[in-house]
Amino acid sequence: MRFDTALITGASSGIGEEFGHQLAPLCRRLVLVARRRSRMLDLARNLRGAYPGLDVHVFEADLADDQSLEALVSGLAMQGLVPDLLVNNAGLGDYGEFATARWDRIEEMLRVNIRALTRLCHSVVPAMKELGGGSIINVSSLASILPMPDFAVYAATKAYVTSFSEALRLEVKGHGIRVL
């Protein structure tokens, strides 16, 4: 399968970086999104060197921040970047008892793992419908199917990702949009 434009969140390291390497030969354009601009610039440089002609865009964004998230969505629209593949990979986890966890850390996890993922899906699905198809990969976790002490909020956010993705898949499959 080939894609015109793939957008990858959490692209500066780990699984997100690997998505970049794996998708580069399958895309005309890659959009890398993460907080660490310098790491994304290094990745973009490496991918352009390995795949001449690949168009790589870098967006520095903190998906826990509403203004940064909305700036990303509007920036994509302003540049005419319409993903036919969205990889929602960005995510946060935290370990420890819920009762003693810092609220700001819990809220940040909810914003990235649930709100940003949902907002980005909401921003691309209408365009994918117009294109006649597309694909969305929402990275979840085995934690989504297990209640996990000391990972209560993380596991719950990943349960949301799994449930949301399964429901969205059913809603959009008639439009040629695949959701994983």
Both tokens assigned to 81 = 């970047």
Question: Mean pLDDT across the stretch 67-88?
Answer: 97
Q: Any idea how long the chain is?
A: 180
Residue with the bigger pLDDT between 148 and 6: it is: 6
Residue with the bigger pLDDT between 147 and 152: it is: 152
Question: Mean pLDDT across the stretch 169-176?
Answer: 98
Cα 4 from Cα 82, distance rounded (Å): 9
Both tokens assigned to 92 = 């946060």
**132: CB partners within 8 A, 6+ apart:** 175, 176
Which residues are part of the catalytic machinery? 154
**pLDDT tens by residue, 4-26:** 999 999 999 999 999 999 999 99
**pLDDT tens by residue, 39-59:** 999 999 999 999 999 999 999
Question: Mean pLDDT across the stretch 27-35?
Answer: 96
| Beta sheet of 85-88, edge-to-edge order | 55-60, 27-34, 3-9, 85-88, 134-138, 177-179
- Structure confidence at residue 148 (pLDDT): 86
- Structure confidence at residue 143 (pLDDT): 85
Q: pTM of the full predicted structure?
A: 0.95
**65: CB partners within 8 A, 6+ apart:** 111
Using an 8 Å Cβ cutoff, are 113 and 158 in contact?
Answer: yes
**pLDDT tens by residue, 108-127:** 999 999 999 999 999 999 99
Q: What mean pLDDT value characterizes the chain?
A: 96
pLDDT greater than 90 at residue 1: no
